[in-house]
Structure 1
Amino acid sequence: MKLILYVILALLLLVLWIWIDFKLGRMKHLKHAHRRDFPFRYSDIKLFTDGVSLFKDMFSDIRSAELHIHILFYIVKEDHFSKEFLTLLKEKAAQGVQVRLLLDWMGSFGLKKKTIRGLRKQGIEISFCQAPKLPYLFYSSQERNHRKITVIDGKTAYLGGFNIGKEYINEDKKLSPWRDYHLKISGEGVRDLQEEFLEDWFEATGKDYRKTDLFHLKPEKGKCKHLIVPCEGVFLEERYAKLIRMARKKIVIGTPYFIPSKLLISELIKALEKGIDLTVIVPGRADHPFVKEASYKYFRQLVPKGAKVFQFQNGFYHPKIILIDNQLCDVGTSNFDKRSLFLNHELNCYIYDSGCINQLEKALENDLQNSTALDLEHISTFNPVRTAKEWIASSISHFL
């Protein structure tokens, strides 16, 4: 009996510690958060929705690098595709090209020490960001850098949803084909992505290259008007609310995880009540045991008011996109969930050019053709297993 009481007491103390740690960690995060606002830029932008074609193009650009390669990924795994990527970086470093690789500590936790030593031995500067640290160990373990940035010679850049691992090139039986959105940018916007990488590099390593002229070239002006938008677990909710309020006719949201805040679900309901068409695309299959169930309570609020929810059926759906009235399209790394809103460091691109938006609309049309409408009755009838999963998902929704 005493043992049971001790276990219960220990669990209560653990929960109390996590709660205090998270609250105080969040206060510190908010105190030190800073908002970076880049100007409007003009670049040429190309959309990739398939990892095989994306990485063929990206690796070709990396092979052509002459000066420097700056790469930030949330995930780099220990598989054959990751080794191909890292071997390419070693080859470029051996040629005298400056190579800096920044990885999220949690997302790339599986990278072996032997692999890291091999990269450094070859001359690659590699560092990890967002490692857990005292005094707020739990909160800092949840605050992750979810950005994906590749900048080559200060002339070409990439950002979007893909990481480095075999599932992203359709070699995971459960999740293939992997559907995602990634942008290639050539033009003025590259400068902002370079600046964002160097800012993250400085925060992770203390090495300050932010004013180094070598890294701040002035690329030629492109055709597509856009805005690079970094967030770090602050300000994203406000930005998304403004996007929703801008809509006059149509909102399309594509996301692998639909877990909005109270403010955002309220804004979406207001939009529906104004007669605005709302379409949400989510995966038909999940890569996490609770994320599908976490979204159901929101869909039960939105669908009766006229929202159309579709579940993608041709593989795993991982894009992060918001389309507003065919006037503005947001593509990047931010999911439509509480983790992206309140914890992760994210990076998005707001696109204002009609030609580029048309390219993204066609991709969304393809997504819808490969999706089926959500059966509201199916997620509303009593099901004890689903109900239990929904309760668990609701309890940990900030961390999914």
Structure 2
Amino acid sequence: MEIGSILIAIIAALVLWVYADFTLGRKKHLASAKTNTLPVRESNLAIFAEGPKLFEDLFSELKNAKEHIHILFYIVQDDKISQEFLSILKDRVKAGVEVRLMVDWVGNGLKRKTIQDLKAAGVEFAYSQMPKLPFLFYSSQVRNHRKITVIDGQTAYLGGFNIGKEYNNQDPKLSPWRDYHLKMTGEGVTDLQSEFLEDWQAAAKVNLLQNQAYFPSLEKGSSRQQLVPTEGLLLEDMMSDLINNANQSIFIGTPYFIPSKRVFELLRAAIKRGVSVTILVPLVSDHILVKEASHPYLRTLIKDGADVYQYLKGFYHAKVLVVDDSVCDVGTANFDKRSMFLNYELNCLIYDKEFIKKVKTILTEDLLNSRKATVEDFSPVSVLVSLKETTARTISYFL
């Protein structure tokens, strides 16, 4: 009896600590979170939906770097494709190129020896978002989920891909991997460079933002776009505005559909006013409970009149939102509470209708490789599944 009472007391104290840590940590974070609005730029854009094609292009550009390479990924694994990537970085250092690599402290998969080898080769390395006191639990949940590559201040990439075998169609459980990643040249690269250097300053405690060598003069491109960096704030506002302003159609592609209450109700309201809502999610999952967390939302939206599709040809990891064929959002943020309220994310709003047509061509192909879902596809079929849904709903903030 005494042991049971002690265990209950310990669990209660732990729950109380986690609650207080998270609540106070978030309050402090929001008080200092960046809310800067970046300008609309004119840039040249290309989109990649397949890992092998992206890595071929990215690695080629890295090999041709002349002055500096700045890279941030949420994940860099320690496998064959990752070693090829890291070898390129070390080779560029030998050629006199400045190379900086930053990875998320939780998300990365690099071994200590690999990191030591990188540093010994001259690659400047930093962990982003290391947990810290006094709010250890909260800071461990705030991840830098951005993916940024800037080469010579002139060519840049951002989107959903990380570096690892699964992203290169070499994981039998998740292949082929479907994702969307942008390549950018033109004046918008300036903002990507700034975002990387701001994150580098936070992680490495080195301020390089005033170094004009990293900001060459850039010409305008053909597509109007606007970068939207968020950190546990503003993403819900951005998504809400896009949905609320929709008149004809909304397309959402995401691996994890766990919207906030506000965004969910705005989607329901859009359907009621006659807006066509289409949602594309994967059939298979790469994380525990994320499918179960999405089921109540998807059941309700299907009943309301939304079209929901499940991707069949591998794993769907893309993050895209298209409204009225006039604005397209591609970036790093998932359509879930973690991206909206915890993670550091980076999205790109695109206002060029010709480029949006290219995106829609990809979406059409992905829908052809999907099946239309019914309410029954997302309904509990056993007590275990019901229990998973309840558990997922309880911890949906952290999935």
Q: TM-score, normalised by structure 2?
A: 0.99
Task: Using the TM superposition, give the Cα deviation of residue 309 of structure 1 relative to its aligned residue in structure 2, in angstroms.
Answer: 0.6
Task: Using the TM superposition, give the Cα deviation of residue 112 of structure 1 relative to its aligned residue in structure 2, in angstroms.
Answer: 1.4
Could you tell me how far apart the structure 1 residues matched to 2:287 and 2:275 are? 31
Code of the residue aligned with 2:326 in structure 1: it is: Q
Code of the residue aligned with 2:31 in structure 1: it is: K
Code of the residue aligned with 1:89 in structure 2: it is: L
Change (3 A) 1:381 1:148: closer
Corresponding residue number in structure 1 for 2:361: 362
Corresponding residue number in structure 2 for 1:324: 323
Residue-by-residue CA offset, 1:160-208 (whole Å, 9 max, x unaligned):
0000110000000000000000000011111110010001001111111
Corresponding residue number in structure 1 for 2:171: 172
Corresponding residue number in structure 2 for 1:374: 373
Corresponding residue number in structure 2 for 1:192: 191
Query: Where do 4+ consecutive residues of structure 1 move more than 6 Å?
Result: none
After superposition, where does 1:1-400 map in structure 2 within 5 Å? 1-108=1-108, 110-380=109-379, 382-400=381-399
Code of the residue aligned with 1:268 in structure 2: it is: L
Could you tell me how far apart the structure 2 residues matched to 1:67 and 1:379 are? 51
RMSD: 0.9
Could you tell me how far apart the structure 2 residues matched to 1:399 and 1:381 are? 22
**Secondary structure of the corresponding residue to residue 376 of structure 2:** coil
Task: Using the TM superposition, give the Cα deviation of residue 368 of structure 1 relative to its aligned residue in structure 2, in angstroms.
Answer: 0.6
Task: Using the TM superposition, give the Cα deviation of residue 382 of structure 1 relative to its aligned residue in structure 2, in angstroms.
Answer: 4.9
Code of the residue aligned with 1:278 in structure 2: it is: V
Could you tell me how far apart the structure 2 residues matched to 1:77 and 1:8 are? 39
Could you tell me how far apart the structure 2 residues matched to 1:383 and 1:308 are? 25
Give the number of equivalent residue pairs: 399
Name whichever of 213-222 and 142-151 sits farther off.
Answer: 213-222
Could you tell me how far apart the structure 1 residues matched to 2:312 and 2:27 are? 41
**Secondary structure of the corresponding residue to residue 11 of structure 1:** helix
Could you tell me how far apart the structure 2 residues matched to 1:238 and 1:38 are? 15
Task: Using the TM superposition, give the Cα deviation of residue 375 of structure 1 relative to its aligned residue in structure 2, in angstroms.
Answer: 2.3
Code of the residue aligned with 1:395 in structure 2: it is: T
Could you tell me how far apart the structure 2 residues matched to 1:393 and 1:95 are? 50
Residue-by-residue CA offset, 1:203-242 (whole Å, 9 max, x unaligned):
1111111111100112221101100110001011011100
Q: Is there any run of 5+ residues in structure 1 with no aligned partner, and where? A: none
Code of the residue aligned with 1:101 in structure 2: it is: L
Code of the residue aligned with 1:208 in structure 2: it is: N
**Secondary structure of the corresponding residue to residue 49 of structure 1:** strand
Name whichever of 90-99 and 380-389 sits farther off.
Answer: 380-389
Task: Using the TM superposition, give the Cα deviation of residue 92 of structure 1 relative to its aligned residue in structure 2, in angstroms.
Answer: 0.3
Code of the residue aligned with 1:272 in structure 2: it is: I
Could you tell me how far apart the structure 2 residues matched to 1:383 and 1:12 are? 31
Change (3 A) 1:321 1:378: closer
Residue-by-residue CA offset, 1:108-164 (whole Å, 9 max, x unaligned):
1x3111111111111111000101100000000000000000000011000000001
Could you tell me how far apart the structure 1 residues matched to 2:34 and 2:377 are? 44
Task: Using the TM superposition, give the Cα deviation of residue 381 of structure 1 relative to its aligned residue in structure 2, in angstroms.
Answer: 5.4
Q: TM-score, normalised by structure 1?
A: 0.98
Residue-by-residue CA offset, 1:5-42 (whole Å, 9 max, x unaligned):
21222111111111110000110111011212111111
Could you tell me how far apart the structure 1 residues matched to 2:290 and 2:373 are? 15
Q: Is there any run of 5+ residues in structure 2 with no aligned partner, and where? A: none
Residue-by-residue CA offset, 1:26-66 (whole Å, 9 max, x unaligned):
10111011212111111110000000000100000000000
Could you tell me how far apart the structure 2 residues matched to 1:34 and 1:72 are? 18
